[in-house]
Amino acid sequence: MDKKKSTFKKALLIYTIVLALLAICFLGYVYGNLQKYENNLLDNVLKNTIRNLDKETLTSYLKQENKSTSLVDKYAELTKREDYTFVLTNENAYDAYLDGRVLFTINVKSLGETSCLGLLQYEKFEIESITPHLEKGLYYYKVEIPSTYTLYVNNKEYNENKKEEEYPDLSFMYYNDAMPKKVTYEITDLENDATLTIKDEEGNVVNPKVEGVNYKIDGITTMKTEEEAKKIIGDFDILTIAKNWSLFLSRDLNGSSYGFSTIENYVLPKTEMWQKAYNWAHNIDITFISRHTLKNPPFTNEKIENFVFYGKDAFSCEVYLEKHMVVAGEDQTDVMHDTLSFLKVDGEWKLMNIKGTVDGEN
């Protein structure tokens, strides 16, 4: 009886070992196929292609773009990163992004679909070519800020590789440096990631909008009410200027040349605004204004709002007012709904432009 029990135990042990070995083989088979499936996913094919680039290849890429071969170790470190993202640029090409920078373009060819474990379908790919992008180096940034702001790279003021352009549709504001321009800096060929700091004209650090390696500050501040705007413009009397302009257009403004001598105090000589006022005062059309009288009070429903500041020395705002007159015995209301733009010159605000506003938009 004991002999039979011993034989049974041996048989059971052998059976268990065989089953365990079969289970291990089966799990190994499943694991191997799942690994094959995962490795053939497109993102992993692309990552592995980059990861497998050797230093000799990377050195050749650096030489092609006339970059220092001393960067090859840093370049190799970047190829081992796991956080690449890929963007399809055409049917077969993918741009490889790392920290917002395009480092490679990889062209792939589909070899058709296959299956794994009879359940998982996946597409097999072949790498046709890989193109490095080192035109700007391994590390680079693009920064857009107003010309009145200062850019620092690793705590040093940066003033290279920049392009300036005026804000669109505001050419009349560029009388002096008080009106900032948009400045674009291309910071290239850095050996490591950099710390970028941007300060305004008062020396305060300003946080930019960051998208990858693109840093942007438009430098434009909006304020809804005149009360808010007074923090910058103080007690500057916009309403009187607007009313006098309205009176000037209807030949009701005091001063020589139909009030031009009054308007001249608000504008800069020989600017577009000065020329506009001068032409109206010295054009025969002003003499054909219909006879009328102003009601008392002449103005009602006065509003000044929607301020847009381009730094601390240039702004525009929206003015609405109604001027009431009697023309040929009939009441008539002229509506002024304009955007007025001002620039500070030698400590004084000067009117640079008046533009009609429709439904609150320029």
d(CA 158, CA 196): 10
pLDDT confidence of 8, banded at 50, 70, 90? Answer: low
Are 298 and 330 contained in the same domain?
Answer: yes
pLDDT confidence of 120, banded at 50, 70, 90? Answer: low
Are 212 and 253 contained in the same domain?
Answer: no
The whole-model pTM stands at: 0.77
Read off the pLDDT of residues 141-197 as tens digits, 9 standing for 90 and up.
999 999 999 999 999 999 998 999 999 999 999 999 899 999 999 999 999 999 999
Residue 235 lies in a domain: yes
Does the pLDDT of residue 300 top 70, yes or no?
yes
d(CA 357, CA 362): 5
Read off the pLDDT of residues 316-331 as tens digits, 9 standing for 90 and up.
999 999 999 999 889 9
Asked which of 116, 132, 148 is the last residue of a domain, the reply is: 132
* Domain of 269, in residue numbers: 223-356
Residue 16 lies in a domain: no
pLDDT confidence of 286, banded at 50, 70, 90? Answer: confident
H-state helical runs in the chain: 2-39, 42-51, 55-64, 72-79, 226-233, 238-249, 256-263, 272-281
Read off the pLDDT of residues 195-247 as tens digits, 9 standing for 90 and up.
999 999 899 999 999 999 999 999 999 999 999 999 999 999 999 999 999 99
pLDDT of amino acid 217: 96
Asked which of 132, 157, 180 is the last residue of a domain, the reply is: 132
Read off the pLDDT of residues 13-23 as tens digits, 9 standing for 90 and up.
666 665 656 55
Helix axes 256-263, 272-281, angle to 10 degrees: 170
Are 206 and 228 contained in the same domain?
Answer: no
d(CA 118, CA 32): 14
Residue 18 lies in a domain: no
What is the domain count for the chain? Answer: 3
How far from the centroid of its chain's Cα atoms is residue 137's Cα?
22
Does the pLDDT of residue 360 top 80, yes or no?
no
Residue 17 lies in a domain: no
Are 63 and 185 contained in the same domain?
Answer: no
